[in-house]
Amino acid sequence: MASIALRFPPSELPESALHLRDEVRAFVKEEIAAGTFQPTVDSWLSGISPEFSRKLGERGWLGMSWSKKYGGHERSLLDRFVVSKELLAAGAPVGVHWAGDRQTGPMLETHGTEYQKQKYLPAMARGECFFALGLSESDAGSDLANVRTRATQTEGGWLLNGSKIWSSGAHHAHAMVVLCRTSPKDDSNRHAGISQLMIETDQEGVTIRPIHLITGVHHFNEVVFENAFVPDNMVVGEIGGGWAQVVSELAFERSGPERFLSTFPLFLEFLKVVKGTREPRIQEMVGNLTARYTALYNMSLRVMGMLAQGERVDTEAALVKDVGTRYESELTEALRLLVHERGSFAEPTRFESQLMKALLHSPGFTLRGGTNEILRGMIARGLGLR
Amino acid sequence: MILADQILVESATKLLSDLSTVEVINASEKGEWAKDLWETLEDSGLTLACVPEQLGGAGASLTDAFAIIRLAGYFAAPVPLADTLLASYALAQAKQKVPLGPMTFIPVGSNNQLTAELTGDSWVLSGQAIAVPWARHAAHVVARVDCDGKPCLVLIPRSGIQVTEANSMSGEPADDITISDVSLAKDAIIPAASSDQALNNLGALTRVTGMVGSIEKVLHQSVQYATERVQFGRPIAKFQAIQQELAILAGESAAAQVIVDAAIGEVESAGAEEAGLRIAAAKARVGEAAGKATRISHQVHGAIGFTYEHPLHHCTRRIWAWREEYGIESEWATLLGKTVIDHGPDALWPWITA
């Protein structure tokens, strides 16, 4: 028998998490009733509401797994999973805190200095300080180790030069952690000489320029660094150790329920439209789509269970993300064929506006967080093919 | 969630791996009963795993029994483990002592035209049933028959049936049977304790569980083959096109596995009838995985995998055959979708995540 590294051991939510789930559901229901937000697809990219993020912070639903010492709540990753999946399924506006809460915070807690943790984590957990990611560059997309942004040592710190692109929400963010070269590229070890430096977005030498999506909406940014000074106390982890740090961060980036739920609010809108239908074609498709969500939910839960146990889940997370993100678009394609009427563009129905948004956002689903082709390469490695 | 007993899983794995060999599977398709395999399974208590001890079984959980069915799918075991499970489950639910030996089960449905008439003091059974799995090798057939308008199970010994042999796509027996005026003892008529829906649900669950095992196997076979087969001077595993396809196959295998586990978990916690929708979801999703898994595994294997000589077909043919049994996936998807639409959007997420 071939050796297969992929495994999905059963995982179950503890009683405490089920209780938490009910709390989040009740909260979301109230917020929707109060008109705080309208459910929207891709809400973890496009749902921007610092006020909503602060409300989550007040309830203890940000920084959930972090140490209490740093404003966290010392709850398990499964508890965080519960809050995430409920907010995403409801299409709640979680975009502004998403990346920081998901990956920068845990990374800082592991690799940051006491000063950094004290300064940023409590504010992040309150929903008052937001982070953008500083990873991709024009020549470093899937090939992240090819980053060219560089930092050179100077009196008391580092001078940062270069630029990051696709930094979602950088224009709302207070700070970002920038992956950069602190020593020249060594072709025999491409992962050496890479570091993570933290920088605040309003400081001198940092320019944020909008990059508009195909919707025309501003979510992406180019962030340019021109001799931006980073004091030594803003170096995250080890100089030269940035690659290992960022790889561990990516497990958090890839494993969450946002990798299959981006278009779930569209499905809910669809069910309102077809309420009471007896068309077998629609019934069958709804059944198939529900079945696919059920499988993805269980895969996602199992990956989170492993992550909560401290296991490495790189390959399994890549697999769920590959299946899940392809499905986000496939759902959209399936639903559009089941609703015949098309109305005014001046006053589209909620289903119509969400359908257009889901389609226009769909190219991003299988690109962000590592393109699916690269992820499948990782899965192939996990299978022992390479 | 109840977990399958690891010792039981390990011993079943060892046993099936030793005895469900290519030769045994091919001989079975030619009509030879896999006697050694069956008897060894039976001696180890694996054929009646979830039947309570006082009724003649091993007293293990339903989860354990399904773990065995999955392994039987993985090793393409040419014996009626799934059908014996169904027959023994129906009998055990009705508090009947379960006989040893291979069994098969005939649920209600258009394939079941059996009738029982009370003649004098005894019940007389007649009629036909088609595509009955493993009928020719079954020591007993358990059939759902109405007796005096009441849902009953009848336990029919092999001697009472005439068999017209036929095989399904898998190469496993799926015989048509005829029963002509067979008098049954009073105690061979048992009031059914499980609903037809429960038994049908469970039947579907045995099929998707077997498919999960077989899909896992074709993934393993394909990975193995890709690392061994050399073209253009290197193993085909080194080609990205092959890697991408096998990654998709791995995703389908994982999706099939988790959704079937969820359905088994619900049968354990809520019962076979109540778990119907989760089983419907499993049938729909595994049916989809089946199509992709068979396509990709055959594509990766090239022409050799298209031949009888190579054992890939032991699992791919079973996957195709089981997909057709106990309702095709569109039927189950329609049932699930109808319920989802009726219950409305607010009920959907709680159900998916239950």
- Superfamily (CATH H level) for A15-129: Acyl-CoA dehydrogenase/oxidase, N-terminal domain (1.10.540.10)
Indicate whether B69 and B110 sit together in one domain: no
Please give the pLDDT value at position A4: 57
In chain A, which residues fall in CATH 1.20.140.10?
256-382
Please give the pLDDT value at position B121: 83
Indicate whether B217 and B243 sit together in one domain: yes
Integer angstrom CA distances of residue A155 from A149, A159, A178, A288: 19, 9, 20, 62
Q: Does B131 touch chain A (CB under 8 A)?
A: no
Which fold would CATH assign to domain A256-382? Butyryl-CoA Dehydrogenase, subunit A; domain 3 (1.20.140)
CB atoms A377 and B240 under 8 Å: yes
Optimal mutation site among A29, A285, A319, A385, interface B, most CBs of chain B within 10 A:
A385
**Nearest-neighbour CA in chain A from B333: distance (Å):** 4
Among the residue ranges B23-27, B93-97, B181-185, the one predicted with the least confidence is B181-185
Indicate whether B188 and B207 sit together in one domain: no
Per the structure block, which two tokens stand in for A338? 């089941």
Which amino acid, B22? V
Is B20's pLDDT higher than 90?
Answer: yes
Contacts of B254 in chain A (CB under 8 A): 6, 8, 299, 316, 319-320, 323
CB atoms B258 and A267 under 8 Å: no
Percent of chain B whose predicted confidence (pLDDT) is above 70: 100
Integer angstrom CA distances of residue B181 from B91, B110, B324: 23, 20, 31
User: Average pLDDT in the A291-296 region?
Assistant: 98
Indicate whether B221 and B295 sit together in one domain: yes
Tell me which H or E stretch contains A227.
strand A218-231
Listed in sequence order, the residues at least 6 apart from A155 whose beta carbon sits closer than 8 Å to its beta carbon are: none
DSSP annotation of A249: H
In chain A, which residues fall in CATH 2.40.110.10?
133-241
- Residue that finishes a domain, picked among B193, B228, B263: B193
- What is the tens place of the pLDDT at every residue in B268-294? 999 999 999 999 999 999 999 999 999
List the CATH number of the domain containing B127. 2.40.110.10
| Band (A3; pLDDT cuts 50, 70, 90) | very low
Indicate whether B323 and B264 sit together in one domain: yes
List the CATH number of the domain containing B207. 1.20.140.10
Q: Does B354 touch chain A (CB under 8 A)?
A: no
- What is the tens place of the pLDDT at every residue in B323-348? 999 999 999 999 999 999 999 999 99
User: Average pLDDT in the A48-75 region?
Assistant: 98
- Residue that finishes a domain, picked among B175, B193, B211: B193
How many CB pairs below 8 A link A and B?
Answer: 171
Q: Does A129 touch chain B (CB under 8 A)?
A: no
Integer angstrom CA distances of residue B155 from B95, B138, B178: 13, 11, 15
Is A1's pLDDT higher than 50?
Answer: no
- Residue that finishes a domain, picked among B193, B215, B249: B193
Indicate whether B315 and B333 sit together in one domain: yes
Integer angstrom CA distances of residue A286 from A69, A281, A351, B99, B335: 46, 9, 16, 43, 10
Indicate whether B189 and B174 sit together in one domain: yes
Chain B residue with minimum CA distance to A382: B247
Indicate whether B206 and B280 sit together in one domain: yes
State the pairing for strand pair B189-191/B150-157: antiparallel
Is A184's pLDDT higher than 60?
Answer: yes
Is B1's pLDDT higher than 80?
Answer: no
Q: Give the nearest partner residue to A271 out of B259, B333, B348, using CB atoms.
A: B348
User: Average pLDDT in the A213-217 region?
Assistant: 96
User: Average pLDDT in the A309-323 region?
Assistant: 93
Is A2's pLDDT higher than 60?
Answer: no
- What is the tens place of the pLDDT at every residue in A234-285? 999 999 999 999 988 887 888 899 999 999 999 999 999 999 999 999 999 9
Number of domains, chain B = 3
Indicate whether B312 and B348 sit together in one domain: yes
Looking at every residue in chain B, the average pLDDT score rounds to 97
Is B137's pLDDT higher than 70?
Answer: yes
How would you label B225-238 residue by residue, b for 16+ Cβ within 10 Å and e otherwise? bbbebeeeeebbbb
| Band (B187; pLDDT cuts 50, 70, 90) | confident
Residues B199 and B144: beta-carbon distance below 8 Å: yes
Q: Does A35 touch chain B (CB under 8 A)?
A: no
Looking at every residue in chain A, the average pLDDT score rounds to 95
Chain A residue with minimum CA distance to B338: A283
Is B120's pLDDT higher than 90?
Answer: no
List the CATH number of the domain containing B43. 1.10.540.10
Please give the pLDDT value at position A5: 60
Please give the pLDDT value at position B185: 82
Indicate whether B291 and B327 sit together in one domain: yes
Tell me the residues of chain A between 97 and 126 that have a Cβ less than 8 Å away from chain B. none
Indicate whether B221 and B183 sit together in one domain: no
Is A175's pLDDT higher than 80?
Answer: yes
Percent of chain A whose predicted confidence (pLDDT) is above 70: 99
Optimal mutation site among A261, A283, A331, interface B, most CBs of chain B within 10 A:
A283
Q: Does B2 touch chain A (CB under 8 A)?
A: no
In chain A, which residues fall in CATH 1.10.540.10?
15-129
**ipTM metric:** 0.97
Instruction: Identify the domain containing residue B15 by its residue range.
Output: 1-79
Backbone angles phi, psi at A48, to 5 degrees: -110, 115
CB atoms B1 and A4 under 8 Å: no
Asked if residue B168 belongs to a domain, the reply is yes
Asked if residue B96 belongs to a domain, the reply is no
- What is the tens place of the pLDDT at every residue in A109-139? 999 999 999 999 999 999 999 999 999 999 9
Residues A105 and A63: beta-carbon distance below 8 Å: yes
Is B303's pLDDT higher than 60?
Answer: yes
* Distance of alpha carbon B278 from the chain centroid: 17
Q: Does B242 touch chain A (CB under 8 A)?
A: yes
Percent of chain A whose predicted confidence (pLDDT) is above 90: 91
Contacts of B334 in chain A (CB under 8 A): 280, 283-284, 287
- What is the tens place of the pLDDT at every residue in B53-77? 999 999 999 999 999 999 999 999 9
- What is the tens place of the pLDDT at every residue in A88-104? 999 999 999 999 999 99
The CATH number that domain A133-241 falls under is 2.40.110.10
Indicate whether B317 and B202 sit together in one domain: yes
**Gap between the Cα atoms of B53 and B126, Å rounded:** 33
